[in-house]
């Protein structure tokens, strides 16, 4: 597990297997419990990228 890529406080934002399956039931056939941490970490990183892009675009529009 690569916890170095995440800050300590960011780990609490990762989703567990049951939560992921509740949100996206179609992943039940594709996601193994062993891969949940990596999937959740990548999902969090992707969300951060989108949010940062949103903040930057909002700043540009307000400038």
CA 24, 27, 33: angle at the middle one, nearest 5?
115
What domain count does the chain have? Answer: 1
* 17 touches 36 (CB < 8 A): yes
Residue 41 burial by Cβ neighbours in a 10 Å radius (0-12, 13-18, 19+): buried
pTM of the model: 0.74
Q: How far is Cα 5 from Cα 47, in angstroms, rounded to an integer?
A: 14
Range of the domain at 47: 3-62
Note the pLDDT tens digit of each residue in 18-59: 999 999 999 999 999 999 999 999 999 999 999 999 999 999
């Amino acid at each position: 597990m690569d916890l170095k890529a995440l800050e300590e406080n960011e780990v609490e934002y990762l989703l567990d297997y049951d939560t992921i399956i509740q949100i996206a039931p179609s992943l039940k056939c594709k996601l193994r419990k062993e891969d949940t941490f990596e999937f959740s970490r990548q999902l969090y990183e992707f969300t951060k990228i989108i949010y940062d892009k949103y903040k930057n675009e909002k700043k540009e529009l307000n400038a």
